[in-house]
Amino acid sequence: MLSACSTTLSSKRDHYLPNPAHVKTTQNKKMTHLENKHKVILPDIKLFTNNAIHQILETPVSSKQNTFIDPPADFHSPLTLWEQIQQDLQLQRYYQHPQVDHYYQYYLKNKRHIQQSSERAEPILHLIYQQLHKKQLPAELLLLPIIESSYSPLAHSPNGAAGIWQFMPATGKNYGLIQNYWYDARYNIDLASRAAFNYLTYLYQHFNHNWLLALAAYNAGEGRVRKAIKNNQRQHKATDFWHLSLPTETRQYVPKLLALSKLLQQHGNYFYPIPNNPYLSMVKTKHWILIDTLIRKLNLSKAAFLYLNPGIKTGIIPKNISLLLPHNKAKQFRIQQSELLLAHNGYWRQYTVKKGDTLGQIARYHHSKVSWIKASNQLASSHIRIGQKLLIPNTLPKNNTLLKSQKRQKKAQGLPQHYREYIVQNGDTLWHIARKHQVNVEALKRWNKLSDKRYLQPGQKLLIY
């Protein structure tokens, strides 16, 4: 899903800020929330600034409709959302610093980047704002995703950070963001935002209600900030953020955020005007669902669906996960969810394609269907390659008695679990077939119950394990 996102931050738009692309991060990776964020990879902006986002925005939620979070009391404010955020800023006392002014001047000269990032936030910003408003956190935190990911839900880093908040795998797991074969909750806008605010709240409390230290720890890791504080204490130096010896990236990270805040306060027109309306609702899946089936039923483009739900890693939506949908689509989903149930019972296996395999052979062996395999793996054709990993849906559960019987029989015969079929050709010999498939002649005879006196016949099927 994200493999198509090959454009790096520095090549897709103006350079983030001077120098960070050449900064070398230090060690202590276990304590680091995010490393090398300047290498974040973004999808093609054009893909999501036309039909996809417009489809998401087509039906805003009215005040009487069921949103996934109760809207703030001032929901009906005539202000745009960025204007509302502008009024909620809390960290103005930190603006007067040379480093803040340095990045403020930089942002003044890069209006296009600010407008692009803030426009990309349009479908999702109100949802995130509602969460922040409930926790009564500084509105400046809503600017962090501009630094972290340019507000792209699909952003990911070569180092493994993912989503608009760029959670590293370990930090994500610590804050309840599931990551498995099917799903990566770090990309879930709702769940990742909750996790980010919980993490930032913890850091704020841990560092004696100091937001600059909390933000530094969010970037560099709390252990690294604690160590820097202790080093200054031993040397009888000041322990505020500006006097700590921290990685270059972190020393830039905090003043960047403050500079963005100052820019929003003094030049709000740099930020794309977003209506102060929620557009999204959260729904929970009760069944396994094919993405293609869902978007067809809801008349929703795949680009729009994946923009809101990039954490789904295959062509299948697992059960018991939360999806974000435009409000009108969420209402339709709740009504039609039972019609989206997969044709099979939701039993799955992973299979690695071997030499000689065809989809038909793989489907027969796993009690599946070619159409299911193609849909589950989003295959446009029946072409497969050796070493390719396929998700195989089948109609039999793993504890099915038939499968258990087959496994016991093969185990008794000393046979592996996977096989491929070979059709004997004119001139074939057991030796040539065994050599071609890199197996032992005696094993080939045993698998097919062949004797030295029995000749091979053209068209004969042989099983090769």
State phi, psi for 364 to the nearest 5 degrees. -65, -45
Whole-number Å distance between alpha carbons of 465 and 460: 16
Count of beta carbons in the 10 Å neighbourhood of residue 184: 24
Asked about 148 being catalytic, the answer comes back as yes
CA neighbours closer than 13 Å in the CB half-sphere of residue 1: 28
Locate all alpha helices (DSSP H) within 109-164, ordered by sequence. 111-120, 125-135, 144-148
Structural contact between residues 90 and 139, judged by C-beta atoms closer than 8 angstroms: yes
Which of the following is catalytic: 35, 122, 148, 249?
148
Helices (H), 209-315: 211-220, 222-234, 248-266, 291-298, 302-308
Give SS3 for 333.
Answer: helix
Exposure class string for 314-346: b at 16+ Cβ within 10 A, else e = bbbbbeebbbbbbbbbbbbbeeebeebbbebeb
167's tokens: 């959670």
3-state DSSP assignment of residue 280: strand
Go through 83-116 and write b for each residue having 16 or more CB atoms within 10 A of its CB, e for each that does not: bbbbebbebeebbeeeebeebbebbeebeebbeb
Both tokens assigned to 220: 């560099």
Supply the DSSP symbol for 56: H
Cβ count near 15 (within 10 Å): 15
Catalytic residue ranges: 148
